[in-house]
Structure 1
Amino acid sequence: MAGIPSTAGQDIPLERAPRFRRRGLMIAAAAALLALLVWAALRAGGGQRVAAAESLRLATVSRGEFIADVSAQGRVVAAVSPTLYAPAVGTINLKVNAGDRVEQGQLLAELDSPEIQNQYAQEEANLAGLRASFQRERLEVETRRLQNQQAVDLAKVAEEGAERERKRAQEAYGMGVLPIMEVDRRADELINAQLRHRHAQEEVRLQGKSLDLQLRGRALELERQQLVVDNMRRRAEELRIVAPVNGVIGTLSVLQRAAVAANQALMTVVDLSALEVEIQVPETYADSLGLEMPAEVRLGSQTFPARLTAISPEVANNQVTGRVAFTGGKPPELRQNQRVSVRIVLDQRQDVLRLPRGPFIEAGGGRYVYVVRDGVAVRTPVTLGAISINQVEIVSGVEAGEQVVISGDQAFEGAETVSIRN
């Protein structure tokens, strides 16, 4: 019976591995073991993660001036752009076109209004009639005054004649020429003349008051009619529509020779010398905004001082509308509807702990930061204050001089400590 064949013929003797190759394998194994031990030591020491230093941005906590501000995009608008309206019903005759440059006082349009023009002519005729009536009334009053004064003078002359007659009668009685009865009669005539003189004077005084009131009434009627004529003249002059400011015709709301109604919009005049910036600010800053706050308008590489002049009380699309006016003169190259950047200073304080603004605010939710101590970033609770465009106020949690990771800590994923590898 044949035996089972052996596999001896399939075996091939190998040469013994060189000593240096075995040594290399041992070194590689030792290095891997060492890296494992280092990693284990870091985990045992609390370093849960390792981050490269070049992937982080560090900043030093400093103490100094803190400026709380907000940045917004704005659009240049005309601060003065009056709209002109038709003063009455009529037919419009335009003298300018949209886009024309105009000067203050320049004729822009004329309104043909027969109603206003006819009424003006009628009131002027009424004024002329009242003026003639007033002149006639004044002549009559002067005549009445003269007649009354004549009556007073005649009564005075009669009184003086009676006085002389009484004196002559007394002299004649003393000489025995006239009886006493004749002297008494002359005395009674003197008394009657004196009474007529006094009554004439009193009548002249009362009639003078009556004539004054009569003339004053006529004067008031004339004055009232004069006011009516002045008002109609003003309305007639308003039919000539002139430019209220130097500027440009913005829009024409009516066509040439169109019939317009009273108070209908005709056109707008844009004053290009009075430009402001309309901004949209997030409603989160609405409570911090205040009138007359300092601001800066950036136009290209230049900044111009300005101030906040208006804040809308309404919130639309989570935005608050405001107006910013230039304080140091309008930039010469500024034009309407131009887009600019605006920075509004909300607050300015001294001796404040601060850090440059960075993504760490959103990464930590403003509740903690990573402070670097001896190559290890340690998660540290902090309290943040005001946040500006470039800076963040630190209320508590860190001290001046400490280094904080302000960018690149998103990969830390909230670890308590992170080793920083150079």
Structure 2
Amino acid sequence: MTTGFRDTSEQDRPLPPQSRRRPLLIAAGLAALAALALLGGGRVRQMLSADSAVSAARLGIATVDVAPLTRDVAGEGRVVAAQSPTLFAPGAGTVTLAVQAGDPVRRGQVLARVDSPELANRLAQERSNADALRAELARAEVEARQQAAALQSAFDVARIDQQTAQNDLARQTQAFEAGATARMQVERAQDALAKARLALDQARDLRGLKTDSLKLDVQARQSALARQQLLVADLERQVAELQVRSPVDGQVGQLFIADRSNVARDARLLSVIDLSALEVQMQVAESFARELQPGMPGEITGNGQRWAGQVSSVSPEVVNGEVAARLRFAGAQPGQLRQNQRLSVRVLLDRRDKVLGVARGSFVDEGGGGYAYVVRGGYAEKVAVKLGARSLERVEVLSGLSAGDRVVISGSDNFKGAERALVAD
């Protein structure tokens, strides 16, 4: 038996002939890279040295310059009445309205009447008390005159008695000297004169004290009557105020009650709008409100016209992050304005002529305004800056930039915080 070995013919495969084009392609690629390096080597080095590359079309670029900086606040305002008083019920009772909402009214015109029986009864009672006090005062004055007359009469009698005793003493003395009477008679006459003098002094003192007492009594009654008259006058004022009158020339605004309603004291009745003194109220962000001051100039625009204005008041209260500010017209109030009409308002906060600054953009808020990208030689370099005053259009540059620098004011988020980025054309 013959033993044979199998060959490898079944495992072998013919190899394809090696292509000669591949070395040629590699050589061509190397040649192109060499040419590119020779022609644009600087650009390639830029791309390799930058952290990232951003197209210039996606960026907003502005130039730093020295120009006026105007800081202002602009917004929409609405026309409001500088005076819009709300009238209240002066007393409890039934209210009868004499006007309707929107009616024109004049100062002093009766707008409503309040029927208050309680107040009317009090007035009648106090008037009666005043009449009684007036009668008591008259009676006290009559009694004072009568007692004053009696005191004067007693004083006159005492004075006459003194004069009589003095005359009697003179006669007894003359008779004693002539020897016609005893000394005892002279001494009795002296005692009678002393008693008369004492009686006269007492009558004089009593008249003075009693007169003062009568005066005080009359003054007390006069004071009581005066107090009562004040009370009556106050009640008469309250009754007169039951006829509610307009405090200004204007227009009835809003009615808070229905006609013939029974209301309590100090209940709201209606409001009156003074159309002769209109102001424009605007809402200002809290960040600007701290800079607003009464007297600042402003500008009001509407109805195709423009008027000069002036800040009249700033509310001390912050509501939803805003503060209400009011502007009055600097000149004559324009006509054809209506309550709650919308107008455009602008308030000038500050104006400086020569300020190093740049157009305001999103870079002011990015990173807290602590850096900016400056375009130099095709690169955008991250530079630390310090910003100052800001307006709607410009922002002041305090440090970090110079006049003529080109700053990326929008789209810098494309750099993703890179320190250096290529700005591609």
TM-score bin, normalised by smaller chain? 0.7 to 0.9
* 1:115 aligned residue: 118
Structure 1 stretches lacking a partner, 5+ long: 1-28
Please give the residue correspondences for 1:28-107 in structure 2 after superposition, counting only pairs within 5 Å: 33=36, 39-44=43-48, 46=50, 49=53, 51-52=55-56, 56-62=60-66, 66-107=69-110
> CA–CA distance in 2 between the matches of 1:308 and 1:402?
42
Deviation (angstroms), 1:185: 1.2
In the aligned structure 1, how far is the partner of 2:394 from the partner of 2:309?
21
Contact 1:74–1:339 under 8 Å retained in 2: yes
Alignment of 1:238-253 (within 5 A): 238-253=241-256
Residue 157 of structure 1 aligns with an amino acid whose one-letter code is: I
Cα distance per residue 1:259-280 (max 9 Å; x no partner): 2222221111122233333332
Aligned residue type for 2:62:
L
Question: Which residue of 367, 371, 375 maps to 1:368?
Answer: 371
Aligned residues: 391
Residue 328 in structure 1 maps to residue 330 in structure 2:
yes
Partner residue of 2:296?
A: 294
The Cα shift of 1:89 comes to 1.9
The 5-angstrom pairing of residues 89-238 of structure 1 reads 89-238=92-241
**TM superposition score normalised by structure 1:** 0.82
> For the Cα contact (< 8 Å) 2:278–2:333, is it kept in 1?
no
Match of 1:392 in 2: 395
Deviates more, 1:248-257 or 1:338-347: 338-347
Q: Does 1:313 align with 2:312?
A: no
Q: CA deviation at 1:383?
A: 1.7
The DSSP-based 3-state class of the residue aligned with 2:372 is: strand
Q: Secondary structure at the match of 1:93?
A: strand
Instruction: Tell me what 2:29 maps to.
Output: none
Determine whether 1:381 maps to 2:387.
Answer: no
State which drifts further: 181-190 or 40-49.
40-49
Tell me how far 1:66 sits from its aligned partner: 4.1
Return the alpha-carbon distance in structure 2 between the equivalents of residues 239 and 219 of structure 1.
30
1:33-68 deviation line (CA, Å, top 9, x unaligned)? 588756424324649536458974423332x65444
CA contact (8 A) 2:374 2:382 kept: yes
Unmatched tracts of structure 2, length 5 or more: 1-31
Alpha carbons 1:294, 1:344 under 8 Å: kept: yes
Q: For the residues of structure 2 that align with 1:338 and 1:420, how far apart are their CA atoms?
A: 51
**Counterpart-to-counterpart distance in 2, 1:93 and 1:42:** 88
2:356 aligns to what? Answer: 353
Distance in 2 of aligned mates of 1:154 and 1:400: 116
Q: 1:168 to 1:284 in 2, by over 3 A?
A: same
Distance 1:134 1:48 in 2: 106
Equivalent AA in structure 2 for residue 296 of structure 1 = G
How far residue 251 of structure 1 moved from its aligned partner, in angstroms, is 0.9
State the alpha-carbon separation in 1 of the partners of residues 367 and 228 from structure 2.
Answer: 80
User: In percent, how many aligned pairs have the same letter?
Assistant: 38
- Residue 263 of structure 1 aligns to a residue in which SS? coil
Task: Specify whether residues 160 and 200 from structure 1 end up closer, same or farther in structure 2 by C-alpha distance, changes over 3 A only.
Answer: same
SS in 1 for 2:317: strand
| Secondary structure of 1:203 counterpart | helix
Once the two structures are superposed, what CA deviation does each residue of 1:352-406 show, in whole Å capped at 9, x if it has no partner?
4322323332456523223344565443221222322222121210123434343
Distance in 2, matches of 1:335 and 1:389, equals: 30
- The letter of the residue matching 2:53 is R
Q: Secondary structure at the match of 1:313?
A: coil
Alpha-carbon distance between aligned partners in 1 of 2:190 and 2:368, rounded to the nearest angstrom: 122
1:221–1:127 Cα change, 3 Å: same
Answer yes or no: is the 8 Å Cα contact 2:310–2:328 preserved in 1. yes
SS at match of 2:345: strand
Q: Per the alignment, do residues 192 and 179 of structure 1 end up closer, same or farther by CA in structure 2, a change over 3 Å counting?
A: same
C-alpha spacing 1:254/1:54, structure 2 compared with 1 (3 Å): closer
3-state SS of the aligned residue for 1:99? coil
**What is the root-mean-square deviation in Å for CA atoms of aligned residues?**
3.1
Report if aligned partners of 2:298, 2:327 keep a CA contact under 8 Å in 1: no
